[in-house]
Structure 1
Amino acid sequence: MLIGAHALVFSGSFDAAGLTLAIEKTKQAGFDLIEIPLMDPFHFDRMLAARLLQENELAVSASLGLSEATDLTSDDPDVVTRGERMLEKCLEIVHAMGGSDLCGVIYSAMKKYMAPATPAGRASSAAALARLASRAEGLGIRLSLEVVNRYETNLMNTGRQALAFLDEVGHDNVSVHLDTYHMNIEESDLYTPVLDVGNRLGYAHVGESHRGYLGSGTVDFGSFFRGLARIGYDGPVVFESFSSAVVNEDLSRMLGIWRNLWDDPDDLGAHANRFIRTQLRAVETIALH
């Protein structure tokens, strides 16, 4: 199992300086993996990233959220085509960096929709993802669809909804991506959904209810990690937290970061690394009971 951190914990930009900072700080905090958000894949320096990752002995994954201009559920075929091309570019970058996971809200725009998803929109997204999954499989990359709350998508907000959508995609190379921050909003508890998703869980985000220090909010991490242990999960577990002290103004607004709960990413990251590893060790000992 790889324990990682989202790069936005350490840097809000990913030019040469920002990328170097994020990778070096992730390593210093004790993580095994860095998740890099590909907010602008057409201008991302994949070769620099690959070199820095090798130098720092870090594994890598990538994530993004689609926009209205790249929404796979759009009724405009040109928008869907742009979205598919953007995700193809992301797959090329992940492959060049040596990663094996592309995750996030890669099935719809990451925004608050004002109406339910339409059958045509669902079918459009599923068909595009099936095509992308075939390309990803050839590159040794898995797609993981992040289940987010009702204010960030209308396609799926719970683990069970994600499973239903995976059946529509119909490709074994597509998995579910659970996130404790979103689960804490939408799910009845943080244990049952992990068991429901089972071996179709491919990626996990660990975030607190207010996106601050782990253990300082309302997320039931004990139940979540017990669930991971119960299904024998061995995929990435990645810490995610945001502060406008780090991320840029536009992203802060999109994520609703109206108050900052931390201003020291080094301390936050080191704390999260310890917290996750302690939780995992605790559930390991259950086998001794």
Structure 2
Amino acid sequence: MAIEKSAEHGFRMIELAYLRPELFDLDRLAKKAQALDVEIVVTMGLPADADVSSEDKAVVANGRALLSDAVKAVRDIGGIRLGGIPYSMHGKYETMPTRTGWMNSAESIAAIAEIAKECGVELVLEVVNRFESNLLNTTAQGLKFIEDTGRDDVFLHLDTFHMNIEEASPPDAIRLAGDKCRYFHFNENYRGFLGTGTIDFPSIFAALVDIGYDDRDIVFESFSSAIVDEGLSRVCGIWRDTWDDNNPLAAHARQFIEQRWSEALRRRHVNMSA
């Protein structure tokens, strides 16, 4: 089981994608995670017929119902957070977003945030690249969207893979997000082993240190069609195997993140002492 493997590698959190309550024994899943001292986060996106950024009221209503059920499922498994793309369809759009669609989404997220608050679940919105949503592609857009929800308990979920595509400066985007960034994905530009691609990780870690990210959650995310669910692989465009064994991948990621985080803290201390 993925939860057991995560615990073996020293991870204290696991992210489950597209949780479908009808396929899992939620009580058993919750007890397993609790026994292993592993917290659960769920990430999701919406299908086209439940896109809350639609101008079709019936489609928006479908999305709200789906999100409400998702929040309650996260609560039922003892999860602490719902993230990903709950604000729009997960996939490539053929048109620009509209103001009506934007506000339909913002109002929907505001309503779901109230349910999440009652359930003790934190709601975070992942800022993703242009091929996975047309609504929130940059940190600035994410911050404006949160402002339009009128909520102070909706936060941003940033990811190095997506920022590498959309942000002029990923470190500046992190600093812009500041306290609103409550969940963070480390990815390589090609979603493989950390440190083997083009992402400038020293600048990323430095920015996280600058915003005081010490007590917030860092997650490693990587995709390979050999392992990842077929449906998720398709919507994320995972058309090749970047790895076929997740054990060395996970071990390397934990060591990489811990080492780079320590180095960033040390550099910050040296700079402040100079």
Q: In which range does the TM-score fall when normalised by the shorter chain?
A: over 0.9
Say whether 1:265 aligns with 2:246: yes
Instruction: Tell me the amino acid that sits aligned with residue 285 of structure 1.
Output: R
1:143 corresponds in structure 2 to 123
Alignment of 1:77-226 (within 5 A): 77-226=57-206
Name structure 1 gaps, 5 residues minimum.
1-20
1:3 corresponds in structure 2 to none
- The 1-side partners of 2:235 and 2:71 are apart by 24
- The 2-side partners of 1:269 and 1:99 are apart by 21
Segment drifting more, 107-116 vs 80-89: 80-89
- The 2-side partners of 1:79 and 1:42 are apart by 22
- The 2-side partners of 1:244 and 1:198 are apart by 34
Q: Is the 8 A contact 1:225 1:279 kept in 2?
A: yes
Q: Is the 8 A contact 2:52 2:60 kept in 1?
A: yes
Partner of 1:191, secondary structure, is helix
Alignment of 1:11-22 (within 5 A): 21-22=1-2
- The 1-side partners of 2:115 and 2:56 are apart by 23
Deviation at 1:256, TM superposition (A): 1.4
1:285 corresponds in structure 2 to 266
Q: Is the 8 A contact 2:90 2:235 kept in 1?
A: no
Instruction: Tell me the amino acid that sits aligned with residue 273 of structure 1.
Output: R
Instruction: Tell me the amino acid that sits aligned with residue 193 of structure 2.
Output: Y
Q: Is the 8 A contact 2:81 2:121 kept in 1?
A: yes
Say whether 1:75 aligns with 2:55: yes
Deviations 1:50-96 (A, max 9, x none): 01101211111111111102111112222211211111112112212
Deviation at 1:39, TM superposition (A): 4.1
| TM-score of the aligned structures, taking structure 1 as reference length | 0.90
Say whether 1:62 aligns with 2:42: yes
Instruction: Tell me the amino acid that sits aligned with residue 286 of structure 1.
Output: R
- The 2-side partners of 1:152 and 1:184 are apart by 14
Identity of aligned residues (%): 42
Partner of 1:137, secondary structure, is helix
Q: Is the 8 A contact 1:41 1:86 kept in 2?
A: no
Deviations 1:210-235 (A, max 9, x none): 00000111111111111111010122
2:221 corresponds in structure 1 to 240
- The 2-side partners of 1:43 and 1:76 are apart by 29
RMSD: 1.3
Say whether 1:36 aligns with 2:29: no
Segment drifting more, 250-259 vs 69-78: 250-259
Q: Is the 8 A contact 1:190 1:220 kept in 2?
A: no
- The 1-side partners of 2:24 and 2:64 are apart by 17
Instruction: Tell me the amino acid that sits aligned with residue 208 of structure 2.
Output: L
Deviations 1:152-175 (A, max 9, x none): 111111101111111111101101
Deviation at 1:209, TM superposition (A): 0.3
Name structure 2 gaps, 5 residues minimum.
none
Aligned length: 269
